[in-house]
Structure 1
Amino acid sequence: MPVTVLPLENTPLGAKIQLPDGCSDPSELSEEDFKDLYDALMTYSVVVIPGMEDLKPESQWRLTTMFDPTCDQTGKSYGHGKEFRHQNSVLRRDGMTIPDQPQVQVLGQGQWPAGHYGMGELNLRHPTHFDFHDKPLTDQEAFEEDKTRFYRWHIDSALYALSPPVVTTLLGIHVPPESRKQKIHYDDTGDVLEVTQGATSFVSGANAFDLLSEEDQQRALKTTVVYAPHPYIFISPARATSDGLTMVSDGKEMKFEDLPPWEESKIKRLPLVWTNPVTKKHHLQVHGCCIHQLELPDGTVLDLEDARKEVYRMMRPAISPDQVYAHAWDKGDLVIFHNRGVWHSVTGQFKEGEKRLMHQCNIASGIDPVTVL
């Protein structure tokens, strides 16, 4: 039996994958079967392979590299390290590195005994909006009324010096029970999206592009996003909007002269729209929290506050409840997402004693994404 692709029902994106009979490690797929998996990912943007709780970190890393021949295949370069672990980075507490497979990060919540793939005792912390949003929920709202937020809509990427990964693989090893529900309230519309605790939410950049007016589409196709140098350090003193799309512009960002040393040539200038290599669809792909400027086709340059307002205007329709796939984790789910075709966000918060353990892998690409007009 070849790879079987089962589109998810009643969701705007996503598919479930059944591996061929006898295959328990997707990094060992034949060339033909892997092409089916690759095409499914490019078509559905997020694919889920269940029953992978025993997948070894080395296999997860190898699988991740298979989606991008241009990324480093030796394991010596993988796109995190100093940039993400800097003491001022907003990402510094979001994961720990497996010693023998440093391309794979351990994420989660709670204390875990020593011995997980050679690691010492783990004290993991699930990222929550309390530390990042300008006006977080109250404890009453979050822990008594089970309200939650999209933490930060983003693309996995250093966005300085390194090119965005093509894919991210995310493995659920220990996950909270699916029965626990939390509710995301949209402040501007009053809509409510119910998600399982700790769900990972995805939206399609292709759907986001399709939701734009024809005029906005034509302009977006020729617009360039300029990201700040060391963007996760740049934004560290600032706080995000309540939907996690971008940052509140109140002058709290770190001044460029106070950032770690940076080079103009390493600042990432990426197209606002990235073209899917298989479907040829255009995807609106932007990390709204990390932008610094927008360069419009007519030569106009929008600086920080106006750039944020403009990408917010374009991004906001795409996170409406009917556009979001919120993945409810089961033990052993291996979620592979097209990092150049979706945005994603952590959701949820955990109470004292609640635990989660996950493995994440993404590798910086050897080339930047492009817009094919």
Structure 2
Amino acid sequence: MPAAETLSVTPLSDTPFGCTVQLPSYANNDPANLNDSDFTALYESVHKHLVVVIPGQAELSPKSQYELTKRFDPSIPQPKESSGAGYGHGKEFRHEQSVLRKDGTTVKSQPQVQILGQGTFEANEPGNENGEFISLTHPSHTSFHHTPLTDAQIKHDHRTRFYRWHIDSALYDLSPPLVTTLLGIKVPPATQTQNIVYEDSDEKLELTQGATCFVSGAQAFRNLSEEDKAFALATTVEYAPHPYIVISPAGATSDGLTMVSEGKEIPFDKLPEWEASKVKKLPMVWTNPVTHEHHLQVHGCCLHKLHTTKDGHTTTLELEAARKKAHQLMRPAISPQNVLAHAWKQGDLVIFYNRGVWHSVTGEFKGVNNGKDERRLMHQCNIASGYDPKTEV
């Protein structure tokens, strides 16, 4: 299909939300080149459709991906750009105790962009921006869930799980990014399917190997009872300091929504240095600035407490009770009919509204399996915002 003169938006079919975008011809297949009018259309599409797919972007440079991502949020602080620290990589994510410590490496020429994937890549391989040998590990629930699937369930039943439903954010000191851009540079052919079996119901979701799953926070909020909507609107989520380190000894629930409470968390006095003023306390409900819809936005694995204020009085749910309440509110949203499971094609650039969706990795990869190349190489960019999300009631 020839490129149009203006940005073209087409809703995805047979999915709960999402759209594809065709770039105008003048952009030369680089979304960073969009004029102000077409970028405004893209900005609104991300907020309305929540997940936007721009195909054919395998050659997109890390510089263009960064510039495009940054353009969505003029509030992004400037001083930290050169170090790539604006999102919270480095000390927060690369700490040896963090559950995120194996999740990729940094593009040397553009440190705001992270390299994710599975398998080893030689220095001279196409797509390897760093020009040196890199080894990548696809996150697997087997190293994060309290009770993972058995080898037989994975190998013979072709099962997988939602690894961890989350919002991209350091959740300490830094504010959540507005958008995330995720680029599939090398993607195995979408010929193998895997299944998610819901262990608390008879539901089942079939998806392609390594699909990234999304759910709408707006739909999650709409589906709540009136009582739960009132609770969510009145509640602030307090996250743990250095939350990805705190939860590292614990195990996640089988649906990836939160953690199993067994008292295994690292005590706060055993953490790297932290300041109470930098602990994140965020609304449970965030307002979409374009649609003005309410989105239920909770990182269930990293929360520490829930504070609910009604008639001037605040009640607090401590860790175990807070996890149970968050799980009760979030669980209906991940039923199969609500999930957008993006089946990656090489060159897909996915832009998602990080303050309006939750997402999860799925899939089990081996790197090379019976002679089949299952390696995957991706670039991800998201940058901490200059302001916290708010709820407008």
TM-score (normalised: structure 1): 0.99
Q: CA deviation at 1:351?
A: 2.5
Q: What does 1:152-301 correspond to in 2, within 5 Å?
A: 152-298=164-310, 299-301=314-316
**Does 1:97 find its partner at 2:117?**
no
**Does 1:65 find its partner at 2:70?**
yes
Provide the residue aligned with 1:21 in structure 2. 25
Q: CA deviation at 1:119?
A: 3.7
CA distance in 2: counterparts of 1:133 and 1:121, whole angstroms: 30
Give a deviation string over 1:125-151, Cα, whole Å, max 9, x none. Answer: 000000000110011111222100000
CA distance in 2: counterparts of 1:102 and 1:30, whole angstroms: 25
Provide the residue aligned with 1:41 in structure 2. 46
- Of residues 138, 152, 155, the one that matches 2:150 is 138
Q: Which moved more, 1:64-73 or 1:313-322?
A: 64-73
Q: CA deviation at 1:73?
A: 4.7
Q: CA deviation at 1:92?
A: 0.4
- Of residues 331, 343, 362, the one that matches 1:328 is 343
CA distance in 2: counterparts of 1:322 and 1:148, whole angstroms: 18
Q: CA deviation at 1:219?
A: 1.8
**Does 1:340 find its partner at 2:355?**
yes
Give a deviation string over 1:25-51, Cα, whole Å, max 9, x none. Answer: 101100000000000000000000000
Q: CA deviation at 1:17?
A: 0.4
Q: Do the aligned partners of 1:72 and 1:363 also contact (CA within 8 Å) in 2?
A: no
Q: CA deviation at 1:120?
A: 1.6
Give the RMSD, CA atoms, in angstroms: 0.9
Q: Do the aligned partners of 1:294 and 1:302 also contact (CA within 8 Å) in 2?
A: yes
CA distance in 2: counterparts of 1:65 and 1:22, whole angstroms: 21
Instruction: Report the AA paired with residue 17 of structure 1.
Output: V
Give a deviation string over 1:62-98, Cα, whole Å, max 9, x none. Answer: 0000110001356234212110000000000001001
Q: Secondary structure at the match of 1:62?
A: helix
**Count of paired positions:** 373
Q: Do the aligned partners of 1:167 and 1:336 also contact (CA within 8 Å) in 2?
A: yes
Instruction: Report the AA paired with residue 103 of structure 1.
Output: Q
Q: CA deviation at 1:222?
A: 1.6
Q: Secondary structure at the match of 1:148?
A: coil
CA distance in 1: counterparts of 2:152 and 2:188, whole angstroms: 21
Q: Do the aligned partners of 1:155 and 1:339 also contact (CA within 8 Å) in 2?
A: yes
Q: Which moved more, 1:98-107 or 1:71-80?
A: 71-80
Give a deviation string over 1:307-328, Cα, whole Å, max 9, x none. Answer: 0000000000000000000000
Return 5+ residue gaps in structure 2 as ranges.
369-373
Q: CA deviation at 1:352?
A: 4.6
Give a deviation string over 1:314-357, Cα, whole Å, max 9, x none. Answer: 00000000000000000000000000000000000012512000
Q: Do the aligned partners of 1:169 and 1:360 also contact (CA within 8 Å) in 2?
A: yes
Provide the residue aligned with 1:362 in structure 2. 382
Return 5+ residue gaps in structure 1 as ranges.
none
CA distance in 1: counterparts of 2:35 and 2:171, whole angstroms: 33
- Of residues 340, 349, 359, the one that matches 2:364 is 349
Give the share of equivalent positions with the same residue, in percent: 60
CA distance in 2: counterparts of 1:275 and 1:101, whole angstroms: 31
Provide the residue aligned with 2:371 in structure 1. none
CA distance in 2: counterparts of 1:275 and 1:292, whole angstroms: 22
